[in-house]
Amino acid sequence: MTELIPQPRSVVVGSGEVRLTAHSRLYAGDATEGVGNWLRTVLQQATGLPLHEGRELDDACDDGIGLQLDPALGPEEYRFASDSNGIFIEGGSPAGVFWGAQTLRQLLGPDAYRRAPLDRDRTWAVPHLTIQDSPRFPWRGLMLDVARHFMSKEGVLRYLDLMAAHKLNVFHFHLTDDQGWRVQIKRYPKLTEIGSWRARTKFGHRASPLWDDKPHGGYYTQDDIREIVAYAAERHITVIPEIDVPGHSQAAIAAYPELGNTDVIDTTSLSVWDTWGINPNVLAPTDNTLRFYEGVFEELLDLFPSEFIHVGGDECLKDQWKQSPAAQARIEELGLADEDELQSWFIGHFDKWLSARGRRLVGWDEILEGGLADGAVVSSWRGYEGGITAARAGHDVVMCPEQHVYLDWRQDAGEDEPVPIAHVRTLEDVYRFEPVPSQLTEAEARHVLGAQANVWTEVMEDHARVDYQTFPRLAAFAEVAWSALPAPAERDFADFERRMTAHYSRLDALGVAYRPPTGPLPWQRRPGVLGRPKDGPPPNA
């Protein structure tokens, strides 16, 4: 069972195997106790074996498991060895040991992902082999949009487990948008009292005539957030929240109308948006708005210990600012050239505010317009161009170009593909994604922190739809972000498909409603629900 995903750097297979038995012990050395607790829990559930605690490394001999640190290894690097002496996992940090433990779980077979043993008399064995492995990028992310369609806390925890199983380590938590505000802010209770639910929802693309007339909503309490962050940390995943400003903010304006451009429209008439697209109702560039969102971020910083805080910054239509006497007065007061520079000033304010508190601002590549805020990190989504520009200017970049890693895009051109959005992006297309543009010099390329797959949920009404769009393509993305692969055209996709044959069984055991290689199952289709398919290959931007 050596069909590993993501592909390790080096695997040397020996002869023989290590069998876990009722006598096997699990030893966790200093600083690896958390990994040991996690591994013991999941393996006890799946195997029914007790895996008693070992008190010293020798307890792992013959048929046990030993975990320990090796400071000579890189931070997320691990060394895996299974031989006549037992199974040993060494890592440069607890995270490295954890990724090695994930490899062990894969080696034990698909049933190691189940929550109860299917057969208590079965043999649990790992072949003798040695693995040397480490990730290519420190940022291996998944963005999950819970603003358009809310996902329960249990669903989020499940996705953290799925991320960990694929050695992904950054969870970008898209918490606010025009269609919903999903995090409790105690000083501003209307954000969830009003902003967390909408009266109805467009079913399909925004051109669809169909509506779901059932109210939709939900939010995470601050204790829910603490639980999610702690659960992620146990799996060596960093949670990065996104609070969208100054666009994508109608839910906040519906809750607190004074945040909008009150000199242009009657903001008291706005409700949480019930359809999709780019919304014209954006935040007013006033001191009141700045103070309000400083209050939001103050509470967020207590909930999210991550170095990075995402502020959106994308798709901010500036028509209201052009019409607003207050916005025009602000432009004149600050000596700015235009509305693009006004947005840059808005983002720059929060860049300085977060920097003063030891955090770093991340924004979508529109934050480049009007001048990039000092210290800001760019999420390059409209192709590679924004990331290239930012890296050449000395700014760190996360590559997530929509043409390659937007998982809401359709997976096939077939008529049975549910609610088809944009261009076709197959499993192979994702596998051939290259995060580092060839135009960058070696020094510039060091600013590419890594890559991220984005799951926008406008047309994903439940977790089964999210699963369908996300998998199996997330497995291909995980290998791109982790493994040192050759150039895209030289990648062995046939070998990846071979390994996926085994990986589908793991996804089955995890209960993932992925898209089968042969196409959607009958219950995965959405006949008659209008999408927005585009023909041909996507533009290479």
Ordered DSSP codes for 367-429: GGTT-PPTT-EEEE-SSSHHHHHHHHTT--EEE--HHHHBTTS-S--STTSSS-EES---HHH
CB within 8 A of 383, min separation 6: which ones?
A: 401, 402, 403, 539, 540, 541
Closest Cα to residue 90, out of 3, 26, 29? Answer: 29
- Tokens coding 4: 């590993």
Total residue count of the chain as it appears in this document: 541
> Alpha-carbon distance 522 to 91, whole Å?
45
The yes-or-no answer on residue 349 being catalytic is no
Q: Which of 63, 133, 145, 177 is catalytic?
A: 177
Residue 346's closest CA among 365, 375, 371, 380?
Answer: 371
- Assess whether 315 carries a catalytic annotation: yes
User: Is the peptide bond prior to 472 cis by the omega test (within 30 degrees of 0)?
Assistant: yes
- The 10 Å Cβ neighbour count of residue 324 is 23
Q: H or E element: which one contains 37? A: helix 33-47
Marked catalytic residue, from 248, 404, 447, 463: 248
| Closest residue by Cα to residue 159 from 148, 172, 149 | 172
Catalytic residue among 263, 315, 341, 497: 315
Of the candidates 269, 508, 245, the residue with the CA atom closest to the CA atom of residue 353: 245
Q: Is 248 a catalytic residue?
A: yes
HSE of 11, CA atoms in CB hemisphere, 13 A: 15
Residues noted as catalytic: 177, 248, 315
